[in-house]
Amino acid sequence: MADQAAALLEALPDLAGRSVLVVGCGDGRFPRRFRGDGARRVVGVDADQALIAVAQREEERDPLGISYEVHQLARLPVMGAFDVVVALLDSPGHLDRVIASLVTGGLLVAVAANGLDLEEALRDNGFQDIVLHRHESGDVHSARKAP
């Protein structure tokens, strides 16, 4: 997982002043890091209510202005308009749910689980500048939402 986390962080642009949605945020570690890196607005989403509770407790203990919500990926609503969306995906079938919250020209950074190759799905959804970062523990794709 360390290689995958490094690839994720490497794929991100400078977050200063940007809005970031983290789908599959777990215990809130990445949202807190992104806020610390200067992101203007950060929202974390995860299907696991226990992990969201951990993230919310940490936010209460040390407030950074991050909001957390529990949502199943298959029913993820539009969460707003974000400059950057970071998502853990195990199927290209949920890509449309994730990118619905990404502004035109925004960057998607997707951690692909279980050897998932997202390149074709990204192209089919009008993404450009697709970059693949390969690691043993899983690939990370980054792509810009075309106008």
End-to-end CA distance of the chain: 33
pLDDT, tens digit only, all 147 positions of the chain: 456 788 888 899 999 999 999 999 999 999 999 999 999 999 999 999 999 999 999 999 999 999 999 999 999 999 999 999 999 988 888 899 999 999 999 999 998 877 778 889 999 999 999 998 777 666 888 999 988
For the entire predicted model, the pTM comes to 0.94
Check: CB of residue 59 under 8 Å from CB of residue 28: yes
